[in-house]
Structure 1
């Protein structure tokens, strides 16, 4: 099998550079050179810790360009050129211009070094979003996670955008609450996610990934009279139930990275730019979801997979001062090729349990085990959001629920989540090697190598009006 980091590197580079021209292994001939050599208008600093690079280049009379990265294939390319992922090492980009007759110029060369975020080197130190720690994670509990890494995130912002399902379309989705990259909107793509914005999660620029879920809504009541309130259109009013999120004083991990298969050494890191959705936004009564994928429970139930698998497909009535808990488990078997698919799910699959000594493995259709992503939120059942008659979560719904919620038909059956990967690859590789494959329980962004991720920070925390029960415009 091809080396996993090389495989991802070649896949992304091919998408970036390949055109309809040559696929030579050696630099082109300089016979009858006439066009001007390219000039770089933008290139990386000589030493950087970024795992990507952006180039801009021009040349008089050029009708095409050819590029070669680190002595690899020579391929057609164009400016601007975005390359990722780039491993910590010396790199060289060679660029030639071609004129209308196909004659090649002399080569223009850009050289730079990607330095490790942990050790730094000449021109860099340890990355600013890493904090030295003497705390060493303990082994994961038996009959629990095989190995796990947990991070805290603050709320970033809310909106009716969805850059995976409705790219480029403003206000085309239901109401979402976003965590992670603070600049995510309908126009977010792989390049913008990797190169811009801070993060509301631990690790800041080392974790520009974006995480989002449909907003959880509670009926609005007058806290004095207990009467149901109406919105500006005379319809029953709703308001958002905020999640309990972590910060530097209160640890409450909401995003986990763990093992979905039993053979931990077979797990690969997640390729940059991977998009995925877990759960079914169209689920409803009579079409409930599998609790192995999405589920609800009251925190007081003390539910566990091993000892007390008490889960609900809809939102249970958790009473004050309990917390409503939500779990979403993403697929962790990749087809090894695609970073997205038509339904944002088909390029991935869930592991299958063989019932034998191999335990859980990936199916032949999706043979590459990757790190498993999961979301785990808690929502406080408090007087300002609870049902005044029962002091519970009765009547709560998701912005994606497309059915009537009643005391006998709970909301939340359309539970789902979206994830778009923009982790620094060296850090995510460390999560895999030091935490998951060592069977550790790494809390609070602890990387088990003497460093932990920097703390959380708020995004704009901008809210959006609840329109049409959160279903949107």
Structure 2
């Protein structure tokens, strides 16, 4: 009888211990006891009636003979191929599902966590003219409809709902208002925005802007409630002052910085073509939306961000630089 009781006690301890271990591991995966519940956010304060957003000053005009006032548009489609994954080649290379949320892509059709310079250079692309660069961003979802396709169900971490397809995608390269630009190096990695902006110490790296298609002179860092019939827009503008040495750096920012408000690059950096990605969505009025994010970021619109890897050929990049420096408007 004594042995049976000891065996029963041991069995109970093992069961309770297993449950405790599972609870601890579960808490670790979700950020501990202080983490938000799965799917928390967005909150009402994340939204704004766009009619209340004031107009912004126009970009400063090109100043002086050294300005590079051109514009190059690259037609890369709008992800009709359905290229999605939970990877982030720029931030988490070699780590499957390292983004913990879903990214949508245009450009290079092979991009995933295990892409290399050689594999990108050999891949097909959605861009006209053969640009094999990769351009990507977190998806926007409507949360009143369940996701049914594989890439809508695999993200986890509170990212749920049907992915809203982009109604339009614009990829543009712009010059500098104060100087000529030089070529980007091949395989330059770049990022804009801050995926952890909600919990960051400041909004210094919040760069993405949201808007409505009927008011291009206004923007906000909150989700806009647009007038009926207008598209929701997202604008991702990348840093354009290169240190002349590196194609990436720890933290993914030090090698490529933003110019000052007057367009002048920081000391010891050189102006390169400025990438701007503009996205537009058809969203019926009143539809609940949420940007994919890390769980603790609660789908905050401030966490919007984008990534870029330059895989243009040398001659193609030279064409972009010449167009910008000569003040022309070009399209590929």
| TM-based fold match above 0.5 | yes
Matched, 1:176 2:117: no
- How far is the alpha carbon of 1:284 from its aligned partner? 2.0
- How far is the alpha carbon of 1:411 from its aligned partner? 3.8
Contact 2:159/2:293, CA 8 A, preserved across alignment: no
Instruction: Choose which of 322, 325, 332 in structure 2 pairs with 1:437.
Output: 325
Q: Which runs of 5+ in 1 are unaligned?
A: 1-140, 223-229, 246-252, 304-309, 354-358, 383-390, 446-452, 454-473
Contact 2:143/2:162, CA 8 A, preserved across alignment: yes
Instruction: Choose which of 164, 167, 172 in structure 1 pairs with 2:93.
Output: 167
SS in 2 for 1:213: strand
Instruction: Choose which of 276, 283, 292 in structure 2 pairs with 1:399.
Output: 292
Counterpart residue number, 1:379:
281
Q: How does 1:48-59 map to 2 (within 5 A)?
A: none
1:265-316 alpha-carbon deviations (Å, 9 max, x no partner): xx1011001001111000128867469832111112232xxxxxx2111211
Instruction: Choose which of 307, 313, 327 in structure 2 pairs with 1:418.
Output: 307
Instruction: Choose which of 331, 348, 364 in structure 1 pairs with 2:267.
Output: 364
How far apart in 2 are the matches of 1:169 and 1:285? 24
Counterpart residue number, 2:183:
269
How far apart in 2 are the matches of 1:344 and 1:428? 22
Counterpart residue number, 1:456:
none
- How far is the alpha carbon of 1:184 from its aligned partner? 1.1
How far apart in 2 are the matches of 1:292 and 1:186? 25
Counterpart residue number, 2:251:
343
- How far is the alpha carbon of 1:441 from its aligned partner? 2.6
Matched, 1:316 2:218: no
Instruction: Flag the 1:151–1:324 CA change in 2: closer, same or farther, 3 A.
Output: same
SS in 1 for 2:119: helix
Instruction: Flag the 1:370–1:150 CA change in 2: closer, same or farther, 3 A.
Output: same
- How far is the alpha carbon of 1:208 from its aligned partner? 0.5
Aligned residues between the structures:
257
Matched, 1:427 2:316: yes
Contact 1:285/1:413, CA 8 A, preserved across alignment: no
Contact 2:243/2:255, CA 8 A, preserved across alignment: yes
Contact 1:292/1:329, CA 8 A, preserved across alignment: no
Matched, 1:193 2:107: no
> Which of structures 1 and 2 has the bigger CA Rg?
1
How far apart in 1 are the matches of 2:95 and 2:205? 32
1:87-111 alpha-carbon deviations (Å, 9 max, x no partner): xxxxxxxxxxxxxxxxxxxxxxxxx
Counterpart residue number, 2:52:
none
Q: How does 1:133-172 map to 2 (within 5 A)?
A: 143=61, 146-154=69-77, 155=79, 156=81, 157-172=83-98
Counterpart residue number, 2:140:
216
Matched, 1:295 2:222: no
SS in 2 for 1:360: coil
Instruction: Flag the 1:438–1:160 CA change in 2: closer, same or farther, 3 A.
Output: same
Instruction: Choose which of 154, 172, 176 in structure 2 pairs with 1:260.
Output: 176
- How far is the alpha carbon of 1:376 from its aligned partner? 0.7
The structure richer in strand per residue is: 1
- How far is the alpha carbon of 1:348 from its aligned partner? 1.1
TM-score, normalised by the number of residues in structure 2: 0.70
- How far is the alpha carbon of 1:185 from its aligned partner? 1.3
Contact 1:291/1:313, CA 8 A, preserved across alignment: no
1:151-197 alpha-carbon deviations (Å, 9 max, x no partner): 22221400111112121111221210111111111111112111x11
Contact 1:257/1:371, CA 8 A, preserved across alignment: yes
- How far is the alpha carbon of 1:440 from its aligned partner? 2.1
TM-score, normalised by the number of residues in structure 1: 0.50
Q: Please tell me the root mean square deviation across aligned C-alpha atoms, in Å.
A: 2.9
- How far is the alpha carbon of 1:221 from its aligned partner? 4.3
Contact 1:330/1:373, CA 8 A, preserved across alignment: yes
How far apart in 1 are the matches of 2:189 and 2:205? 22
How far apart in 2 are the matches of 1:418 and 1:397? 19
The structure richer in helix per residue is: 2
Contact 1:244/1:378, CA 8 A, preserved across alignment: yes
SS in 2 for 1:361: coil
Contact 1:282/1:402, CA 8 A, preserved across alignment: no
Contact 2:72/2:173, CA 8 A, preserved across alignment: yes
Counterpart residue number, 1:280:
194
